[in-house]
Amino acid sequence: MNLEKDKVYVEHILECIDKINQYTGSDKQKFISDDLVQDGVLRRLQTMAESTQRLSDDLKQTAPDIDWRALSGFRNVLVHDYLNGIDLNRIWDIVDNYLPALRKAIENIANQLLK
């Protein structure tokens, strides 16, 4: 485990989630109706998922409740399949229903790293 590297990526993941919440204001209509908000959210989701791929395997094993593989796959869809269209309602579902739990799990990891 590269503790310093993992800390950087964990902090980046939390920052991305916070920025997404800031951009949307937890308002689906704001997200759906504003291209700039959509672009910001999609970019932050992409870089957040990229950061999860760069975490050490040792660190990932400390949080088996996180579906690391799904996060990686999600990143690949955002990066490689965007021309087929992004389902904004599905993205909102992820933002609204999955990011809060991910944030909590990543906060727990961050707290463990600071010990």
Among the listed residues 43, 54, 80, 90, the single catalytic one is 80
Structure tokens at 7: 């800390």
80 is catalytic: yes
Query: Is 43 annotated as catalytic?
Result: no
Alpha-carbon gap, residue 26 to 92, rounded angstroms: 10
Give the three-class secondary structure for 33.
helix
Catalytic residue among 12, 75, 90, 103: 75
Please say whether the beta carbons of 26 and 95 come within 8 A. no
What DSSP designation does 97 have? Answer: I
Among left, alpha and beta (phi > 0; psi -120 to 50; other), residue 25 is left
Catalytic (active-site) positions: 75, 80
